[in-house]
Structure 1
Amino acid sequence: MSQLSEFEGRSGAEFTMTVETGKIREFAAAVGAGHPLHSGDDPISPPTFLASSAFWTTDAGAAWGDQPPDLSRVLHAGQQYVFHGPPPKAGTVLHCRERIDRVYTKQGRRGGALEFADIVTEFRDADGRLVAEARATLVVTEQAPTA
């Protein structure tokens, strides 16, 4: 087993993400978010736009650091966003930090033990105010599933 429990509570380095006008428009088009708020001169990001923060970080920003689990056995089991105000608009600079909030194990039916990791990314504005949180749940299988 991958022993994810050793990573529980670990945080990555802070990284910054600039919410850019063109990126909001591109993301909105890609996910079919056609609301006029996501276009124009001063667009507001679609709620799931924060997923693009993955393109702004490095290994240092990831809570796993340079020791991620074996990606051939990782499943994305869920994603949730909590906003503490409106979604960020173009021009906002977000200060982000990812942490492994919780790790737990369940027995799978076909792939052996399953390790779950809840990963939380906090997004703060220039004043340190919490703008949003993204919570992802990853599953690492003990072995490849059998038929």
Structure 2
Amino acid sequence: MGQLSQFEGRSGAEFTMTVERGKIREFGAAVKTAHPRYGDDEPVSPPTFLASSAFWTTGDSSPWGDSPPDLSRVLHAGQQYVFHGPPPRAGTVLHCRERIDRVYTKQGRRGGTLEFADIVTEFRDAGGKLVAEARATLVLTEQAPTA
């Protein structure tokens, strides 16, 4: 196994994400919220809005480089958002960077080894201040599931 361990500590290139008013409204509609703060002129982004940063990434912003794990064997095992102040408002430009923070293994209950990767995406404002972090845990199974 050990396919992911070579990536531990690796970071992708920085990318920018503009927090857009229309996208906040669309996100609010998608999660079926009627909260008025998402319809303001300068709305605050919902806590899980940062997941949309995936649409702002480029090929070189992935810490996996040209060798991403086999997606048929990957499970998303967890997601956490940590804010170091209020969530960003519309108009904020965030400078983002994703890194593979930690890789570890566990024995699966049905046999086989599971390899875990904790991935952290940092979101910083124009002055470099850390605004938020997204922490995801991926699991790479020893083999692809069978039907």
Q: Structure 2 length normalisation: TM-score?
A: 0.95
Q: Aligned with 1:100: secondary structure?
A: strand
CA distance in 2, matches of 1:59, 1:33: 33
Q: Structure 1 length normalisation: TM-score?
A: 0.95
CA distance in 2, matches of 1:65, 1:32: 36
Does structure 1 residue 75 correspond to structure 2 residue 68? no
Deviates more, 1:117-126 or 1:64-73: 64-73
Q: 1:114-137: CA deviations, max 9, x gaps? A: 000000000000000000000000
Flag structure 1 segments of 5+ consecutive residues without an equivalent: none
What stretches of structure 1 move > 4 A for 4+ residues in a row?
Answer: none
Matches within 5 A, 1:1-147: 1=1, 3-110=3-110, 112-145=112-145
Q: CA RMSD in A?
A: 1.4
Number of residue pairs matched? 147
Q: 1:65-119: CA deviations, max 9, x gaps? A: 2211000010000000000000000000000000000000001123611000000
Flag structure 2 segments of 5+ consecutive residues without an equivalent: none
CA distance in 2, matches of 1:129, 1:15: 15
* Amino acid corresponding to residue 22 of structure 1 in structure 2: G
CA distance in 2, matches of 1:58, 1:110: 37
What is the identity percentage for the equivalent residue pairs of Structure 1 and Structure 2?
Answer: 84
CA distance in 2, matches of 1:144, 1:109: 16
